[in-house]
Chains A and B, each alone.
Chain A
Amino acid sequence: MKKTIPATLLLLSLLFARCISEINLDIDSNRTWVNVDGLVTDSLQVQTIKIKRSAVIGVGNDNILPPVEGCAVKVLDDAGQSFDFTETEPGVYTREMQGLPGRAYQVEVKMPDGKTILSRPSVLVEAPPLLPITAEITEKTIIGANGRATTTNQLSLGMNTELGAVSQRPYLRWRATGEYEFKENFPMALSTKTCYIKNNLDFNNIKIFDPNELEGTTLTNEPFLNTAFDYRFADQYCFHLFQYAISEEEYRYWEQMRDIVTIDGSLFDPPPGTVQGNLYDSNDPDELILGYFSVSGVAYRREFVNSNSLGFFVEPRCSSLSFRPQYPDCRACQTILFSSLDKPVYWP
């Protein structure tokens, strides 16, 4: 009897421990599509349009998309102006320009094979200004498969903005990059360096907002980003925040993009679909053109935070007093990816 109960429980666990395993579907497809990824804003800067082809999944290095070289790329506005872009790297077309609020823009790409790809014209809308962000430290408990709970501190950022500051309440999209100060330190150190390391925060992080969901005009503490509160915040951490005023069509596009990159494979997931943006082949409107040509007003804000400003102590990665083994980068911070010894001009 003593053996029976564990055996029964084992059997039950078989029932409920779903078996998930990787499989190869017999997919016989070599089809690829043109992929246009472009952005024009009302900020005077180098605007970039990338033209690639999609990659066949499972063939070669399928996360690296082959560029399409030799295209003639121009942006047209509704006042009849044309802005030619130059290919500065394979498949990357750039030009310094500044879009004007209220004016409609579209991209025209003449492909080497003679096809012409157009985007539907989109009116550039002014972005409302960003207000200071809300930063909070929260505890996150994760229970492992062994049943042990691990608690970590998380930094949660909330966006604040005043939509009443612009004449037309636009749909919003937020993006962010980060940068932090990294001080070398090790026992018996004679001299130490300080590195400034760029930190990609928004990979696959699609944050959009529908103004119709807002009562009033002030958006407060809209959840934007969660990241581990760790040594990066021991000294200064700089957030570069971008708020884009996008069209409703673009909002729907990012909504669907979010759906396809966050599918988690639950039993009740809806079947996936392919996201179509605002691009089309002028000779064959049914042909799928991937990507989006975005026309956006942009607002920018820079915010510094650290453990002092947040009121939460966090141990630096490198400390001459630490009993922990030292990390190699505590002696050579340049070895960290995206690090630089040049102090940015805006750094305090």
Chain B
Amino acid sequence: MSRIIFVLLLFAFGKTAFSQQDVLMLGATNGKPEEMLVLSGRVLNSVSSEPIPGAVLQLQPIGLNEVTATDGNFKFSIPPGFYTLIISNLGYEERSVKIQILGDASHDFMLSEGAIELEQITVTETRSNDNVREVLAGVEQLSIERMERQAKFLGETDVLRSLQSVSGVTSVGEGASGFNVRGGNTDENLILMDGNLVFNPVHALGFFSLFHPDMVQGVTLYKGGVPAKYGGRLSSVLDVRLREGNDQRLSAKGGVGIATSRLVLEGPIVKNKASFIVGARASYVDWMLKRTNNVDLQKSQAFFYDLTAKVDARLTKTTQFGLTAFNTHDDFQFADEVKFEYATSSANAYIKQLIGKKINLTAQVNAGEYQSDLFDVNGNDQSQFTNRIGFLRGNFGGVAQLTKGYNMDAGVEQTRYRVSPGKLAPLSDSNVKPDQLSDQDGFETSFYLNNQVAFGKKIEVMLGGRYTIFKNRGPGQVYLYEPGVPKREQTIIDSVSFSEGEEIANYTGFEPRFSIRISTGENSSIKGGYNRSYQYFSQVSNTASATPIDIWQLSNYHVKPQWADNFSLGYHHNFNENIDQTYLTVFYRNIENLIDYRDFARLLLNRHLETELVTGKGKAYGVEFYLKKSLRQHQFELNYTYSRTLRQVLRSEVQAPINRGDWYPSNFDKPHSFNLNYFWQIKPKSSLSANFTYSTGRPTTAPVSSFSSGNVLTAPVYSERNQFRIPDYHRLDVAYSIGPWGKKERWRNSLTFSIYNLYFRKNAFSVFFRQNPFQSVTAYRVAVLGSMFPAVTYDFEF
């Protein structure tokens, strides 16, 4: 018997050894040769282990082709047997692997960078038809490669600037914090960076995003259909994924620009099993400002830094652990006019466990804090106003492939928010009296279930829901108002105090999620979707643009949660083997309990903020068009959006109407938005990119008449809210990149020359009105970057 076993073992190992030379055996046999098997995995760079998107996999002899997604992933569904897998990608050596598929298997393939002949260079890259096959409508995937093709501000690739080239995404203008999706407010976007909740995604008044460009692997924006696992915001979900560190060798990457520099270090902790990646970025504009002759500039500050670190480890073959943490800080001051600071700290840890082959469980914990400080730096009233939002969130969920073509994911999420809405502290010999509002506590619990079912190849449906419970708890004080009259400080009739942990308000909401994809051909599909979302806190700001110092307000006894119904319907079509892509989407959003502000609202340190707020409803609708076209070395991306975003605040017993109860445009209503990106791969190591952007000027309230009263001889009469528009926004940026050059696996260098706002357009960030004695009001335009702005950046990698 032992001899038989020995012979069998010898045969088995002998075969394995033989196979490793010629045939790669993948998967364990399940004894059912008639079943289709799944071969999945990633295509990675053999040196850096970075995923390679757009790599082509050909499976011979059956002739199946696949293209890797942005994260390098691919998947085949094939019968067991022997195959030849040919993997190729521009700039890499083609690789051919003989494989035998015995059962479902996952395997990563490495590609080595290869010499590139000039004749081979085209930018007609091959892409998958994921955009057509994806069941969710309104999902945008931005790979870092796509972002790098766009002209850069100060030589840096920037996630949020790139995002604004996507249909339906706009910004109020230069110097604005955040972005607006399909007419939603900036606080209606759920922003996640590797699972970390981000409240303010920008540095330096919005000129840079806080995502370190050399650490970003890819970005997904859900602006239409949103999977049930995401919630808490009305407009969109921005999921920024950071790449894993190189688990093979220590390497570094960075760049030196005229205003900022950045560095990334990465390497193995345990080779092939655990890696780290650490990135840092800082501006040194401060140092330069101090050396100018202009007094205003000498008093100004524009310093920021961010530190991001990530560790990933494969603990066992089925268990993965990861930790991402980041810390950012901004100081900004312009002369004696305005000064503020803001900082974010957050850490997220996750553990993933594969159970069998079809269930994947994930547990995640995320804690963080965002704090902003506004300083009064003038005169005898020097003070510091601080507000803060902290959170602790945990979630547990899993994805299961129940049968072929049917996936289900479910989970639970709990978040605790702690908001400190305002603390005023005097500075030096100030006359200001210290003041502080009490903290607010909120608990949001969500349960979600999502089913994704394919009915043959043509139809795929995602159906799910999310149930949320929100509790506002004490300590706190609730003011009660005289019924039947508008809520004002003067109409307070009583107040109720709540002790620590006592429930002040409780809200629940069910959020159905539905998406359908109907394929109309191999490369075309119609997609539709509906989802509802509840939002239990808002950024309270009555300035035209969101600012880093806006306070956060949880839903409470008086402030009801906002909720929105989102509908979208789109047609997607790829041409020319998925190289060229286009889509046309229409959308409609209805928002209830929308918060707006009465005229002259005072928001800071207001103990009865509800007296400054009015409640109404909103709607946004529009059509989005996108076209990507490649012509050899040239690539064009064009998108156009027509959209409106309107509000209505009716008269009621407790509030006065806005604009007599008529619909009026929101601050970020920009009907026409157009972007054209052009990329030209001139030579293998040089490229030119240009971006043109145009959008309708945003609405503003303008003086239309003047009157007198007492010792005020001419005071302005303003129009109804948002009845006029500031001038249209448009801008052209260009960038020229050279490189990389240098020896492979040693120093590699590149240079980027960029010009922002090539034709000196003075785009209005805001329009304001000034009045000189005995004169009527005059309109002025503030252009934050009212000039052409050239820059050069040196990037390196080793």
Contact = CB atoms under 8 A, between A and B. Distances in A.
19 contacts: A12-B288, A12-B289, A14-B785, A19-B762, A21-B762, A21-B783, A22-B779, A25-B700, A26-B724, A27-B704, A35-B708, A52-B708, A55-B705, A65-B708, A204-B713, A263-B769, A266-B768, A269-B543, A291-B709
B9 interface: no
A273 B721 CA distance: 8
A41 interface: no
B234 interface: no
A62 B770 contact: no
Interface residues of B, number: 84
Interface in A164-179: 175
Contacts of B599: 256, 272-274
Given A16-B300, A19-B787, 20 more contacts: A12-B297, A15-B285, A18-B782, A21-B762, A29-B705, A29-B719, A57-B776, A63-B713, A143-B295, A145-B296, A203-B711, A255-B600, A260-B716, A261-B712, A264-B768, A267-B547, A267-B782, A267-B784, A268-B547, A271-B700
B302 interface: yes
Given A21-B781, A203-B773, A54 B543 contact: no
A13 B292 contact: yes
B81 to A, nearest CB: 62
Contacts of A114: none
Given A23-B727, A25-B767, A33 B707 contact: yes
**Top 4 closest A-B pairs, CB basis?**
A273-B599, A19-B786, A265-B768, A54-B705
B178 to A, nearest CB: 15
B11 interface: no
A3 interface: no
A-side interface mostly: loop
Interface string A21-65: 111111101011101010100000000001010111110001101
B724 A57 contact: no
Interface in B708-756: 708-719, 721, 724-727
B706 interface: yes
B706 A63 contact: yes
Contacts of B296: 17, 145
Given A57-B777, A204-B711, A263-B770, A270 B785 contact: no
A8 B778 contact: no
Interface in A215-234: none
A277 B715 CA distance: 13
B536 interface: no
B465 interface: no
A161 interface: no
Contact of B784 (A9, A18, A22, A202): A18
B701 A273 contact: yes
A272 to B, nearest CB: 5
B711 A205 contact: yes
Interface of B: 175, 258-259, 285, 288-289, 291-297, 300, 302, 334, 337-338, 490, 542-545, 547, 549, 597-601, 660, 667, 700-719, 721, 724-727, 762, 764-771, 773-787, 789-791
Task: Among A17, A33, A52, find the residue whose CB has the most chain B CB atoms closer than 10 A.
Answer: A17
Nearest to B204: A15
Contacts of B490: 248
A167 B524 CA distance: 81
Contacts of A147: 293-295
Task: Among B292, B705, B721, B787, find the residue whose CB has the most chain A CB atoms closer than 10 A.
Answer: B705
A275 interface: yes
Contacts of B547: 267-268
Contact of A63 (B718, B724, B776, B786): B776
Nearest to B786: A19
Nearest to B774: A63
Nearest to A55: B706
A272 B715 CA distance: 12
A185 interface: no
Contacts of A20: 780-783
Interface in A256-293: 256-257, 259-261, 263-275, 277, 286, 288, 290-292
Contacts of A32: 705
Contacts of B543: 267-271
Given A204-B711, A291-B709, A17 B294 contact: yes
A294 interface: yes
Nearest to A12: B288
B778 to A, nearest CB: 6
Nearest to B719: A29
Contacts of A261: 712, 715, 771
Contacts of A17: 294, 296-297
B295 A257 contact: no
A267 B766 contact: yes
B790 A292 contact: no
B10 to A, nearest CB: 72
A65 B776 CA distance: 11
Contacts of A22: 778-781
B99 to A, nearest CB: 55
B709 A257 contact: yes
A8 B258 CA distance: 7
B782 to A, nearest CB: 6
Given A20-B780, A206-B712, A145 B294 contact: yes
A283 B762 CA distance: 47
Nearest to A4: B258
Contacts of A23: 727, 764, 767, 779-781
A54 B700 CA distance: 21
Contacts of A214: none
Contacts of B771: 261
A272 B338 contact: no
Given A18-B786, A21-B762, A33-B705, A263 B768 contact: yes
Nearest to A286: B660
A266 B765 CA distance: 11
A26 B728 CA distance: 12
A273 B599 CA distance: 5
Given A263-B768, A265-B770, A19 B292 contact: no
A22 B779 CA distance: 6
B285 A12 contact: yes
Contacts of B785: 14-15
A310 interface: no
Contacts of B764: 23
Contacts of A55: 705-707, 776
Contacts of B781: 20-23
A131 interface: no
A174 to B, nearest CB: 11
Contacts of A254: 710
Nearest to B791: A11
B776 A277 contact: no
Given A9-B292, A265-B782, A257 B705 contact: no
A19 B786 CA distance: 6
Contacts of A277: 709
A144 B779 CA distance: 25
A14 B789 contact: yes
A176 B701 CA distance: 33
Contact of B711 (A62, A63, A202, A263): A202
A264 B338 CA distance: 12
Contacts of B767: 23, 25
Contacts of A270: 542-543, 597, 600-601
Nearest to B433: A213
Given A12-B292, A13-B292, A63-B776, A18 B705 contact: no
Contacts of B337: 266
A266 B340 CA distance: 14
A290 to B, nearest CB: 4
Nearest to B293: A147
A10 B38 CA distance: 60
B765 to A, nearest CB: 7
A24 B765 CA distance: 15
Contact of B779 (A14, A25, A33): A25
